[in-house]
Amino acid sequence: MNKLFQKIAGIFFGATYGLILRFVFNVDAEGIFENSLNLFSFTFIWITPIIIGVIPFFFASKEQLDNWGYRIQTPIWSVIVFFLLCYLTRIEDLICLWILLLPYLIGAIIIGLIAGKIIKYIKDKKGIVYSIVLIPFIASPIEQQFQTPVNAYSVTTIVMINSEPEIIWKNIIRVKPIGSQEYTKGFFNYSGIPRPLFAELDKDTINAIRIGHFEEGLMFVEKVTSWDRNKHIGFDISVVPSSIRQTVFDQHVLRGNHFRFLNAHYSLKKIHDGQTELTLSSSYELNTNFNWYASYCGNKLLTDFQERLLQVIKTRCDK
């Protein structure tokens, strides 16, 4: 019973530490600590889960630390409870937790494999052990001293449609209201990403303004930068600030300075009579210290969106 209590207590304190750190890092996003702590940092994404996973070892006996099952399972449970607390307190959306899932599980497993034995031998040196919880507060300010890389990424989706380019063209420059029965929602939609509703265009020429409307009032302004009727249309994209929702995801991603949509392009290529290849390419910019991982998540999100949108276009235009 005592060992079970130690395990539960360790998991609880690890998860609670993570929740407190999430609150503190979020407060600093508003400039209180002069941006020394940052949610969009390598420290919070990759170092924090290691600390969350190691805290339960503070409460473990030496026998427990010798047990491989305990050393792997306990950090993972600590991360799971942390996620649950984040969701219940509404400090994170499901989509944000999905983004954190991979690095947090990897961090938990690594710390279980490596740190268990180390903690066992330094367990009596409590000052050294407990000082581990200060690492994020030291690492993040140091990290902020380095210039954050800015990189651009693009996602391309292609679909074959049994229709003429002229018909498809009319369905992409202006998108009629998309009914719920037309659009198949996926994991990202149920996790908080709004589905598209319709798109309107003020005139049929270059420099026209296209407005994309999404659920819950979210809107994007798309200025037409290239126009070749029935063949190609391209536009720069920017979110309408007043339409940004109060969700955690929108506030951190769309209102923050770490993610920015750049442009999108539709291209139509007639394969043969009655069949057209429709290509949709979108580009975005990332400004984080973990662009390599953030781009993986961004590509997944955009690919899912583009595939579902093009399926709507295909269904409407297929003969």
What residues have CB less than 8 Å from 298, skipping those under 6 apart? 153, 155, 259, 284, 286
Q: What are 115-162's pLDDT values in tens digits?
A: 766 666 666 555 555 788 888 988 888 888 888 899 999 999 999 999
Asked which of 91, 114, 143 is the last residue of a domain, the reply is 143
**Within this chain, do residues 155 and 105 fall inside the same structural domain, yes or no?**
no
Q: What are 206-259's pLDDT values in tens digits?
A: 999 999 999 999 999 999 999 999 999 999 999 999 999 989 888 888 887 789
**Within this chain, do residues 62 and 184 fall inside the same structural domain, yes or no?**
no
Structural domain range at position 279: 150-317
Asked which of 122, 143, 164 is the last residue of a domain, the reply is 143
**Within this chain, do residues 43 and 124 fall inside the same structural domain, yes or no?**
yes
Quote the number of domains for the chain. Answer: 2
Does residue 20 surpass a pLDDT of 60?
yes
Q: What are 255-271's pLDDT values in tens digits?
A: 877 899 999 999 999 99
CATH number for position 231: 3.30.530.20
Asked which of 143, 174, 189 is the last residue of a domain, the reply is 143
**Within this chain, do residues 167 and 252 fall inside the same structural domain, yes or no?**
yes
**Within this chain, do residues 47 and 74 fall inside the same structural domain, yes or no?**
yes
Pairing of strands 232-239, 209-214: unpaired
**Within this chain, do residues 184 and 39 fall inside the same structural domain, yes or no?**
no
**Within this chain, do residues 154 and 92 fall inside the same structural domain, yes or no?**
no
Predicted structure pTM score: 0.88
**Within this chain, do residues 100 and 167 fall inside the same structural domain, yes or no?**
no
**Within this chain, do residues 88 and 119 fall inside the same structural domain, yes or no?**
yes
**Within this chain, do residues 183 and 288 fall inside the same structural domain, yes or no?**
yes
